[in-house]
Amino acid sequence: MTARGTASRFLQSVLHNGVGRYICQLKRLSLVFSKNAPSSRGVREFIEEGVVDFAKQNPGIVVYVTAKRCNVPKLVAEYREYCLPLRETWNNRFVQSTERYQ
């Protein structure tokens, strides 16, 4: 039989080697914020209102919340080691940055 009459071996190897499986790249998120600083207000609001919903929607991502004395709140995404300075419009930027690494 000619090569045109048989199934492609290359295609079979691609379909059976696990390439199509999705693996979430983002494993851990660490939120570091201040309890009193005005720059951490958006982070505090997100923690009170949205962090539980985020954790339920993304069960494969561990979220650490740490209150420290700091001037600028930080978001650290592990495996990518990404650090993002946060402002008052924090909720939208948080969702956008986490969607980028999922």
Instruction: For the chain of 102 residues, list the mean pLDDT of each consecutive stretch of 10.
Output: 56 52 73 88 87 88 88 76 51 64 54
pLDDT the model gives residue 30 = 85
Distance CA(94)–CA(43), nearest Å, equals 9
CA distance 44 to 27: 22
| pTM score of the predicted model | 0.56
Cα–Cα distance between 32 and 75 in angstroms, integer? 7
Q: Spell out the domains of the chain, with CATH numbers in brackets.
A: 29-100 (3.40.30.10)
Q: What per-residue confidence (pLDDT) applies to 17?
A: 47
Q: Where are the beta strands (DSSP E) in the chain?
A: 28-33, 62-67, 74-78, 82-85
